[in-house]
Amino acid sequence: LTRKIKEAILALEMSRRYTKDQILEMYLNEMYYGNFSYGVEAAALSYFGKHVKDLDLAECALLAGILQSPSRNNPFENFPAVKRRQESILDLMVKAGFITEAQAASAKAEKLTLREARYDIRAPHFVQFVLDQLWGKYSEQFIASAGLKIYTTLDLDLQEEAQNIARRHVAELSDHSLTNASVVALDPRTGEILVMLGSLDYFAEAIDGAVNMALAKRQPGPAIKPIT
């Protein structure tokens, strides 16, 4: 109850000091858009390689659709879901009178080209894994703006060694149509995650690199026989 009262007081104070457009701008500049992008400008650069002022209607609607759930609506990993969300937003804009049906139809038909995802980040699958854990406990807005320091068990030296080994093995087996690999290493005493390699390259679309194969569900096959 105390938190709700504080939120109401802050909301009244913000509405007194700022216009609705200013409040919306502050919101868009703080929210998380997935793929390590905080704020709409960072998202525009990450997904389209453009400044937000240069985006067209179709691109803006796509970014707006990500906000509902950045982990689920990941353009690099689940574009069909983001596209459906974009089209729903365009329909709502027509209903609200912001755009015409013709503009919405044109935006829906536009072929969107995402830039090649590439960021200066280490162990991206593990970073996303940690973010998913945090989202299960805290709001995305709190995570984006609270200045949290997150301490993990990952060993970056082991992580890089595992990635190098995986790449060598995949290269050696390329004649067998092997193109990808994943690795997880745990501390047997504590169960702590020391290595999490979800794919050979998080940013390689050809192998769906953003998909964390270390967490993907698999049929156990013969591996289950010792247990059964």
In a domain, 200, yes or no: yes
- Which pLDDT does position 117 carry in this prediction? 61
The stretch 208-217 carries a mean pLDDT of 89
Q: Average pLDDT for residues 34-63, to the nearest whole number?
A: 91
Task: Give the least confident one: 28-42, 46-60, 172-186.
Answer: 28-42
Residue 29 vs residue 60, higher pLDDT: 60
Quick one: pLDDT band at residue 8, thresholds 50, 70, 90?
A: confident
Task: Tell me the pLDDT tens digit for each residue of 168-177.
Answer: 999 999 888 8
pLDDT in tens, 153-199: 999 999 999 999 999 999 999 888 889 999 999 999 999 999 999 99
Q: Are residues 139 and 52 in the same domain?
A: no
Q: Which of 61, 81, 109 is the last residue of a domain?
A: 109
- Domain range for 72 is 31-109
Q: Does residue 66 lie within any of the structural domains? A: yes
Instruction: Tell whether 202 is covered by a domain.
Output: yes
Q: Which of 67, 83, 109 finishes a domain?
A: 109
The pLDDT, as a whole number, for residue 130 is 93
> Are 133 and 220 contained in the same domain?
yes
The residue ranking higher by pLDDT, 76 or 180, is 180
Name the domain count of the chain: 2
Q: Is residue 17 part of a domain?
A: no
What average pLDDT is seen over the chain?
A: 88
Mark whether 147 and 184 lie in a shared domain.
Answer: yes
Instruction: Let me know whether 78 and 140 are in one domain.
Output: no
Closest CA to 34 of 214, 212, 209, 210: 210
pTM for the predicted model, two decimal places: 0.54
Query: Is 128 found in the same domain as 104?
Result: no
Interval 81-90: pLDDT, tens: 999 999 999 9
Same domain, yes or no: 95 and 129 = no
**Domain end marker among 109, 139, 161:** 109
